[in-house]
Structure 1
Amino acid sequence: MKALTANRLTDGEVVFWKSGQWVTRFADAELWADDDPAAGEAEGQGKTQPTTVVDAYLIDLVESEGLWAPLSYRERIRALGPTNHLHHGKQAEGGAVIEALQHAHGAARSTGRVNLIKRK
């Protein structure tokens, strides 16, 4: 599975794609199968919004506690908010999705990010 993420330009907030717009919670993100061409279309649409977001890319997901979570540790941190205290950021909301994000395993790089930094 994959999700589309970026950073909002107005405040730097991590955002996720859902039905043609950016949302702030990973729990609300639209998810696609790995081979779904709609994921690439959404990524293209997200990248055409340079005055709204920066660095839009697809991230890999892994199933955790019956829910989906980013595979890479970096992306889980981005989805949860700052790591300095559990009562800061999105992790302070609590709930099943936050629990799944906190307990997910895997540290592989997101293929979307790897493709961004490869020299062509």
Structure 2
Amino acid sequence: MKALTANRLSDGEVVFWKDGRWIERFADAQLWAGDDPAAIEAEGEGKAQPLVVVDAYLIDLVEAEGFWAPVSYRERIRALGPTNHLHHGKQAEGGAAIEALQHASGAARSTGRVNLIKRK
């Protein structure tokens, strides 16, 4: 599975794609099977919004506790918010989806991020 992420240009907030718009909660993000052409199309739409977001790319996901979570540790941190305290950022919302993100494992880089790094 994959999800589309970026940073909102106005405030730097990590955002995720859902049905043609950017949202803040990873748990509500739109997910695609790894080979779904709609994911590539959505990535193109996201990249075509340079005044809204920067560095839109697809991230790889893994199943964790019945939910989906980013494979990459970096992407899990981005989905949870700051790691300086459990009561800050998106992780302060709590709930099963947040707990799944906190307990997910894996350290591989998302292929979308690797491709973004190679292009720079």
For normalisation by structure 2, the TM-score amounts to 0.98
Q: Which residue of structure 1 lines up, in the alignment, with residue 22 of structure 2?
A: 22
Q: Secondary structure at the match of 1:12?
A: coil
The alignment covers a number of residue pairs equal to 120
The yes-or-no answer on 1:66 pairing with 2:90 is: no
For normalisation by structure 1, the TM-score amounts to 0.98
Q: Which residue of structure 1 lines up, in the alignment, with residue 76 of structure 2?
A: 76
**CA apart distance, 1:67:** 0.5
The yes-or-no answer on 1:109 pairing with 2:93 is: no
Read off the aligned partner of 1:61 and give its amino acid letter: L
User: Using the alignment, how far apart are the partners of 2:34 and 2:26 within structure 1?
Assistant: 18
Q: Which residue of structure 1 lines up, in the alignment, with residue 93 of structure 2?
A: 93
Q: Secondary structure at the match of 1:43?
A: helix
Q: Which residue of structure 2 lines up, in the alignment, with residue 11 of structure 1?
A: 11
User: Using the alignment, how far apart are the partners of 2:77 and 2:34 within structure 1?
Assistant: 22
- Alignment deviations for residues 10-64 of structure 1 (CA, whole Å, 9 cap, x no partner): 1100000000000000011000000000000000000000000000000000000
User: Using the alignment, how far apart are the partners of 1:85 and 1:70 within structure 2?
Assistant: 20
Q: Which residue of structure 2 lines up, in the alignment, with residue 34 of structure 1?
A: 34
Q: Please identify runs of 4+ aligned residues in structure 1 that moved more than 6 A.
A: none
Read off the aligned partner of 1:91 and give its amino acid letter: Q
Cα 1:119–1:94 change in 2 (3 A) is: closer
**CA apart distance, 1:69:** 0.3
User: Using the alignment, how far apart are the partners of 2:59 and 2:16 within structure 1?
Assistant: 10
Cα 1:61–1:13 change in 2 (3 A) is: same
Cα 1:102–1:41 change in 2 (3 A) is: same
Read off the aligned partner of 1:115 and give its amino acid letter: N
Cα 1:51–1:119 change in 2 (3 A) is: closer
